[in-house]
A and B are shown apart, each in its own frame.
Chain A
Amino acid sequence: MARISIKVDGVEYADDVEPRTLLVYYLRDQVGKTGTVIGCDTSNCGSCTVHLDGTSVKSCTVLAVQADGHEVTTIEGLAKDGELHPMQQAFHENHALQCGFCTPGMVMQSIDLLRDNPSPTGEEVRHGLEGNLCRCTGYQNIVKAVLAAAESAPVRVGTAGGTL
């Protein structure tokens, strides 16, 4: 077992993990952040996307021990005082989900995308979400939501809160 210290959604945790533990399993099973989901388990789908020190990563492709001493933000850390993050709000308003399984990863990657490029074109949004798959194929409204979020509050949207 290895001892790790990680800040998750603003709270410090110190836990023993096996070195082989993937970050996504640590977040879900030990910290209880089940908002972060496992879609494919093959690094393709992006459903498990979280922010590690402010940039997006696939948490199925990071070992928990690699995150030792670092800060993680999950989908559960976005809303503040009962108010949705502007990106969550934009997904809600634009009906940017069908079954909803890819949504946590889509929202996290969309925030990263706007951090990198606050005023993207539709093409740039599609390119920036290349690592996230929606098996309902509901991409049209997802792109619409990201563009709407960029339009409404570009500076605030590009941060997950607390990490930047």
Chain B
Amino acid sequence: MIPVAFDYTAPSSVADAISALGSDSEEIKVLAGGQSLIPVLRLRLAAPTLLVDIGRIPELRGITDEGDAVVIGAMTTHAEVADSDLVKEHAGVLAKATETVADPQVRHRGTLGGSLVHADPAGDLPAPILALDAELVIAGADGERTVPAANFFHDMFATAVGDREILTKVRIPKHTGWGAHYEKFTRVAQQWSIVAVAATVKVDGGSISAAKVALTNMGATPIRATGVEQALLGRAAAGDTVKQAASSAAEGTNPPTDTNGDASYRRHLANVLTRRAVLAAAAS
């Protein structure tokens, strides 16, 4: 399968990329690692007239320690994120979710920023980014602006990033010493999540003193399970109490029905996977 013909430009700075996005080409798409866009192009589900490749902009790549936060450049690959000691230590649930993305070849090319802006409801990285209360830095013609993760995901495949903007970096407040787990439910290798749960918890003296839980593929955007988070506070990190708290995970969600399962099955999964994710996070 061969994509439709398009023009191609590979700017070497964010400023050049923004100006390329302002050109008068009819339909412009931003190319990051290409692991979602190129399959879409091959199927001709998208027919851009211009591709702006932001994969050759050095300032968009890398992971840095900025005191109280870990900052990840949008074009940092999944392999780099999953392998990073900084991410593992201070944002463990993102490292664990990233390890489960697709397969090794895809993780070598796919990028954190590309995955977030693509905003596939079954994608694995929006939920941990939401759980970790990350901030997303977006550059446009008028400069940079910062959007909290809670306001970033607008709908299926739609985010706060406008047509003439790019996501440049993700700032994650350090969650040092928090346990973390990403519980992903699939039936076959390299499948998209049917449902998955990102959980990161702080345990003091056997009881949970802070908890953040977010759900993948339980609606058009990732969803914080705030009821579960509140129910866990001050409770023992043990089977029965966590099970009870996790039983409200699906409340207020609107999961899809498809060939992998109907909405009621997904609600059941969300409760079960939340219990597993929180217990595994508390034990890690």
Residue among A49, A66, A128 having the largest count of chain B Cβ atoms under 10 Å: A66
- B105 near A63: Cβ-Cβ < 8 Å: no
Q: Give the secondary structure class of B's interface.
A: mixed
Tell me whether A5 is interfacial, beta carbon within 8 Å.
no
Tell me whether B108 is interfacial, beta carbon within 8 Å.
yes
Cβ of A66: which chain B residues have Cβ within 8 Å of it? Answer: 31, 34, 53, 55
Tell me whether B257 is interfacial, beta carbon within 8 Å.
no
Cα separation A33 to B247 with both chains bound (whole Å): 55
How many residue-residue contacts, CB under 8 A, span A and B?
Answer: 82
Cβ of A56: which chain B residues have Cβ within 8 Å of it? Answer: 104-105, 108
Tell me whether B79 is interfacial, beta carbon within 8 Å.
yes
Tell me whether B150 is interfacial, beta carbon within 8 Å.
no
- B102 near A131: Cβ-Cβ < 8 Å: yes
Cβ of B103: which chain A residues have Cβ within 8 Å of it? Answer: 46, 130-132
CB distance from A46 to the nearest CB of B (A): 6
Residue among A22, A56, A62, A63 having the largest count of chain B Cβ atoms under 10 Å: A63
Q: Contact flags (1/0) for B31-42 with A, using CB distance below 8 Å? A: 100110011011
Cβ of A128: which chain B residues have Cβ within 8 Å of it? Answer: 104
- A22 near B109: Cβ-Cβ < 8 Å: no
Tell me whether B219 is interfacial, beta carbon within 8 Å.
no
The verdict on A20 contacting B3 (CB below 8 Å), with A41-B42, A61-B39 known, is: yes
Tell me whether B190 is interfacial, beta carbon within 8 Å.
yes
Q: Contact flags (1/0) for B18-57 with A, using CB distance below 8 Å? A: 0000000000000100110011011000000001010100
User: Using a Cβ–Cβ cut-off of 8 Å, how many residues does chain A contribute to the interface with B?
Assistant: 31
Interface band, chain B: 20 to 34
Q: Please pick, from B8, B39, B105, B108, the residue contacting A19 in the complex, using a CB distance under 8 A.
A: B8
Tell me whether A9 is interfacial, beta carbon within 8 Å.
no
CB distance from B98 to the nearest CB of A (A): 14
- A57 near B2: Cβ-Cβ < 8 Å: no
Cβ of B41: which chain A residues have Cβ within 8 Å of it? Answer: 20
Cα separation A54 to B83 with both chains bound (whole Å): 17
Name the 5 nearest CB pairs between A and B, nearest first.
A131-B103, A19-B8, A20-B3, A130-B103, A130-B189
A sample of 18 cross-chain residue pairs with beta-carbon separation below 8 angstroms, ordered by A number, consists of A19-B5, A20-B2, A20-B3, A20-B5, A22-B38, A25-B2, A42-B42, A46-B105, A56-B108, A57-B105, A57-B109, A61-B34, A62-B109, A65-B10, A66-B55, A112-B105, A131-B102, A131-B104
* Chain B contact residues, CB within 8 Å of chain A: 1-8, 10, 31, 34-35, 38-39, 41-42, 51, 53, 55, 79, 102-106, 108-109, 189-190
* Chain A contact residues, CB within 8 Å of chain B: 2, 18-20, 22, 25, 41-44, 46, 49, 52, 55-58, 60-63, 65-66, 109, 112-113, 116, 128, 130-132
